[in-house]
Amino acid sequence: MKEPIFTGANVAIVTPFTENGINLPKLGELIEFQIKNGINAITICGTTGESSTLTHEEHCQAIEYCVKKVAGRVPVIAGTGSNDTEYALCLSKYAEEVGVNGLLMTTPYYNKTSQYGLVKSFTYLADRLNTPIILYNVPSRTGIGFKAETYLELSKHPMINGIKEASGDFSLIANTLSLCGDELNIWSGNDDNTVAMMALGAKGVISVAANIIPGAVAKMCRLFFEGKVRESAAMQIELFELMNALFIEVNPIPVKTAVALMGMDNGLMRLPLCEMQPKNVEILKKAMVNAGIKLA
C-alpha cells in the first residue's frame, strides 16, 4: 500500500506576474490565503500556474519560494513535467533539492509517445528520483492519455505514488482502481468530478476552484471522508455553476480573472493567454455572487 502524498483539497495555485517576472510577495499572499482557509496541499507551477510560459529560472524560483513560504505547514507538490524527459528530470531534481513533497508530471505533449514510451519515460524518471511522483493525465491538453494497463505497469514502481486524473473517463478510472488497488493513489483533476471520483476511491482533488474557494473545496472533501456523503454531494452540486464558469474560457484565464475580482492582485496573464471576454466576465461574476463570493 502506498500512502498518499496528501488527502483532501490541493490547490493548483496561480502564478502572479509583473511585466518583468514573478511577483513573489503576491505569491506569498496567495499562499497565506490558501493556508488560512484550510487547504490541504499546494501545487506550484502546474498548468493553472502557467508553467509552460515560465523560464527555467522562474520555474525554479517559484518552487523554492513556495517551499520556503509554506514551511512545512502543508505538502507542496511541484509541477515538473515536460515533453523533454531530460528536462523533466532536471526540474525534478531541483525541486527535490529544495524540499518538495511530491512531483506532478504530465504526459509528454506535442511530440507525445506510445504507451510503451510512457512506461519507459516515467520509469526512467522514477529510477533517478527520491521524491514521490504524481502522474498527470489530461489528454485534452497533451493529445495523449494513459491506458489502465499502463497505469498498472507504472504502479509497480515505488516512487510512482499516484495519478491526477483529468480525463473525465470514469471507465478508465474504475478499471485503473480495479487493476492497481492500493498501489496507485488517485486524485480528481476536474473540480466537477471530485465527489464522484472520491466515491470510486479518489483521495481528493487537485483543484482550480480552490484558488478562490479553498475553504469550500476542503470542506467538500472533508465531509466525504467523514462519511457525510450526501452533504458532500450537495456541495458539489451547489458549486457546479461556479466550477463550470471557471472553465468558460481556457484555464487559467477565468480563475485568474476571478482572483482579481475578489481584490487579490495576481498580475498579468502571459500570451497566448489574454484577458477574458467581457460577456464571459459577466457570467463569471454572476456565478461567483451566486456562490456567495464577495466581489471587490
Domain hosting 177: range is 8-232
Q: pLDDT by residue (tens digit) across 261-277?
A: 999 988 889 999 999 99
CA distances from 68 to 26, 60, 174, 206 (A): 15, 12, 37, 21
Q: What is the distance between the alpha carbons of residues 49 and 294, in angstroms, rounded to a whole number?
A: 24
Structure-derived torsion over alpha carbons of residues 10, 133, 104, 136, reported in degrees to the nearest 10: -100
| Per-residue model confidence (pLDDT) at position 1 | 85
**What is the signed CA dihedral for 149, 154, 157, 159, rounded to 10 degrees?**
-140
Report if residue 14 sits inside a domain.
yes
**111 in helix, strand or coil?**
coil
CB 197 within 8 A of CB 168: no
Q: Is 151 a catalytic residue?
A: no
The H or E element spanning position 258 is helix 253-261
Q: Whole-model pTM?
A: 0.95
Is residue 147 situated within a structural domain? yes
| Residue 291, in any domain of the structure | no
Alpha-carbon distance 107 to 117, whole Å?
10
Instruction: Note whether residue 99 is domain-resident.
Output: yes
Find out whether 291 and 211 touch, Cβ atoms under 8 Å.
Answer: no
| CATH number of the domain within which 183 lies | 3.20.20.70
How many domains is the chain partitioned into structurally? Answer: 1
Question: Which entry of 26, 69, 164, 219 is annotated as an active-site residue?
Answer: 164
pLDDT in tens, 150-182: 999 999 999 999 999 999 999 999 999 999 999
Among 69, 136, 219, 256, which one carries the catalytic annotation? 136
Q: Does the residue 32 lie in any domain?
A: yes
217 within a domain of the structure (yes/no): yes
pLDDT per residue as tens digits for the range 91-120: 999 999 999 999 999 999 999 999 999 999
The three cell numbers locating residue 249: 474560457
Phi, psi of 86 (to 5 degrees): -65, -35
Residue 13 lies in a domain: yes
Residue 277 lies in a domain: no
pLDDT in tens, 172-220: 999 999 999 999 999 999 999 999 999 999 999 999 999 999 999 999 9
Segment holding 56, helix H or strand E: helix 56-70
Task: Tell me the residue type at 117.
Answer: G
Note if 164 is an active site residue: yes
